[in-house]
Amino acid sequence: MKKVLMVFLSVSLLVVLLSVSACAPDENGGGNNETGVKKIGIVQIVEHPSLNTIRETLIDELAAMGFVDGENITIDYQNAQGDQSNLKTICQKFANHNYDLIIAIATPSAQAAAGETEEIPVLFSACTDPIGTGLVDNLEKPGKNVTGTSDAVSAEQIMELALRITPEIKKIGALYNSSETNSVSVINDLKAYATRNKMTVIEATVTNSSEVQQAVQSLVEKVDAIFSPIDNTVAEAMPLVTQVTRKAKIPMYVGADSMVEDGGLATYGINYVTLGRETARMAAEILKGKKAGDLPVKMFDDFEIYLNLETAEAIGLTIPDEVLDEAVKTFGK
Ligand code: TRP
């Protein structure tokens, strides 16, 4: 009898073992697997310094919190090279392979990820206008599988800084990608500000980065200054934009520090290292079992002044001392 029981037990053990290995992830990975290693997909729309800072910071911060790539988590990082159809393919892969978490850097990536899954948590990073772009309906309680961090800045506050540096702005050029919803909402704020302050907004919109140089060229002939929101397409083309604005001696005010680093004159913006850390903190909560929809969207309001002094010199401008003193960071000199 004892022997029969032993045989029975070993056979059942074998069956259990076999069924466990049948459920193990395939080589492309699979979420919720029995090894306990969670699979994280990171999707980024383009390469530019700001988005890279976010990604690098969040991976480092996750490691500092004990989530180490190649040990207890696997990170699959994919860049769409500015191409919407790549974004879709990448997010479909993440969803089909049942990843445990998708981290989507910038609005276009987040929209693509949220379009592919209602189950896998989607953590967006640096989405300027999460409500206006339809990612969540409620910042405090997003509810569904999507939450994240926002890098919203204020067009009004950036324009107030612009007027402290160059008080004579009457015509302001708006350079942005009209299909980036994150930019459109900030441009609407710019227009409202301009109306209140008797300025005219002259727009030059683009649909991809190859159009940016021509758009900025046409704009510098018509305006006193240029404003670009936190626009992925313009950010990618900033080195070219800078050549044109410096030559024409037109000040350019932008939405993000990296755009100042790449030659924009100034911003009143957020710190993307802080934002990357905060995104990692939320990722850790989700990995530990919290529901994305229960985590409020994180906004930042500690804006700081960033200046490019090389640009100031190139356009023959002296930055007022009180603005210089207030700047948290200056680039180019
Ligand atoms: N806020 C942008 C978005 O919603 C993404 C972004 C973050 C960005 N930092 C940037 C864009 C710097 C341009 C420059 O998509």
Nearest Cα neighbor of 141 from 296, 299, 300 is: 296
The whole-number pLDDT of residue 195 equals 97
Could you tell me the distance, in angstroms and rounded to a whole number, from the CA of residue 74 to the centre of ligand 1?
A: 25
Structure confidence by residue, pLDDT tens digits, 67-86 = 999 999 999 999 999 999 99
Could you tell me the distance, in angstroms and rounded to a whole number, from the CA of residue 129 to the centre of ligand 1?
A: 10
Q: Is 19 helix (H, G, I), strand (E, B) or coil?
A: helix
Could you tell me the distance, in angstroms and rounded to a whole number, from the CA of residue 103 to the centre of ligand 1?
A: 15
- Residue 108 CA: nearest ligand 1 atom is 15
Q: Best of 176, 177, 182 to mutate for ligand 1, by most ligand atoms within 8 A of CB?
A: 182
Contact assessment for residue 208 and residue 214, using Cβ atoms and an 8 Å cutoff: no
- Residue 211 burial class via C-beta count within 10 angstroms: exposed 0-12, middle 13-18, buried 19 and up: middle
The whole-number pLDDT of residue 13 equals 47
Q: Find the largest Cα–Cα distance for the chain.
A: 98
**Identity (one letter) of the amino acid at 263?**
G
Return d(Cα 271, Cα 304) in angstroms, integer: 8
Q: Which residues line ligand 1 (CB under 6 A)?
A: 50-51, 106-107, 126-128, 151, 182, 230-232, 235, 256, 258-259
Read off the pLDDT of each residue in 220-235 and give the average, rounded to a whole number: 96
The whole-number pLDDT of residue 220 equals 98
The whole-number pLDDT of residue 49 equals 86
Read off the pLDDT of each residue in 247-256 and give the average, rounded to a whole number: 98
Return d(Cα 258, Cα 251) in angstroms, integer: 16
Contact assessment for residue 136 and residue 204, using Cβ atoms and an 8 Å cutoff: no
Read off the pLDDT of each residue in 289-298 and give the average, rounded to a whole number: 98
The whole-number pLDDT of residue 3 equals 54
| Cα separation of the two ends of the chain | 87
Structure confidence by residue, pLDDT tens digits, 112-158 = 999 999 999 999 999 999 999 999 999 999 999 999 999 999 999 99
The whole-number pLDDT of residue 34 equals 55
Contact assessment for residue 59 and residue 69, using Cβ atoms and an 8 Å cutoff: yes
Contact assessment for residue 146 and residue 293, using Cβ atoms and an 8 Å cutoff: yes
Judge whether residue 28 has pLDDT over 80: no
Return d(Cα 19, Cα 161) in angstroms, integer: 64
- Residue 105 CA: nearest ligand 1 atom is 5
Could you tell me the distance, in angstroms and rounded to a whole number, from the CA of residue 120 to the centre of ligand 1?
A: 23
Structure confidence by residue, pLDDT tens digits, 5-22 = 455 545 554 444 444 444
Structure confidence by residue, pLDDT tens digits, 262-280 = 999 999 999 999 999 999 9
Distances (CA, A) of 164 to 86, 139, 251, 269: 42, 33, 12, 16
Return d(Cα 102, Cα 148) in angstroms, integer: 11
- Domains of the chain with bracketed CATH: 35-151+272-294 (3.40.50.2300), 155-269+303-331 (3.40.50.2300)
Structure confidence by residue, pLDDT tens digits, 196-210 = 999 999 999 999 889
Return d(Cα 306, Cα 61) in angstroms, integer: 24
Could you tell me the distance, in angstroms and rounded to a whole number, from the CA of residue 106 to the centre of ligand 1?
A: 6
Structure confidence by residue, pLDDT tens digits, 81-98 = 999 999 999 999 999 999
- Write the residue with the smallest CA distance to atom 9 of ligand 1: 50
Mean of the per-residue pLDDT values for the chain?
91
Which of 45-49, 74-78, 248-252, 269-273 is least confident?
Answer: 45-49
pTM exceeding the 0.75 threshold for the entire prediction:
yes
Q: What are phi and psi of 150, to 5 degrees?
A: -120, 145
Could you tell me the distance, in angstroms and rounded to a whole number, from the CA of residue 320 to the centre of ligand 1?
A: 28
Q: Which strands, in side-by-side order, build the sheet including 122-125?
A: 73-79, 38-44, 101-105, 122-125, 146-148
- Residue 180 CA: nearest ligand 1 atom is 15
Could you tell me the distance, in angstroms and rounded to a whole number, from the CA of residue 287 to the centre of ligand 1?
A: 25
- Residue 272 CA: nearest ligand 1 atom is 9
> In terms of pLDDT, which residue wins out, 25 or 185?
185
Q: Could you count the other beta carbons within 10 Å of the beta carbon of residue 279?
A: 26
Judge whether residue 298 has pLDDT over 60: yes
Q: What are phi and psi of 121, to 5 degrees?
A: -60, 135
- 51 CB contacts (<8 Å, ≥6 apart)? 44, 45, 105, 106, 126, 232
Please spell the DSSP secondary structure of 214-253, one letter per residue: HHHHHHHTT-SEEEE-S-HHHHHTHHHHHHHHHHHT--EE
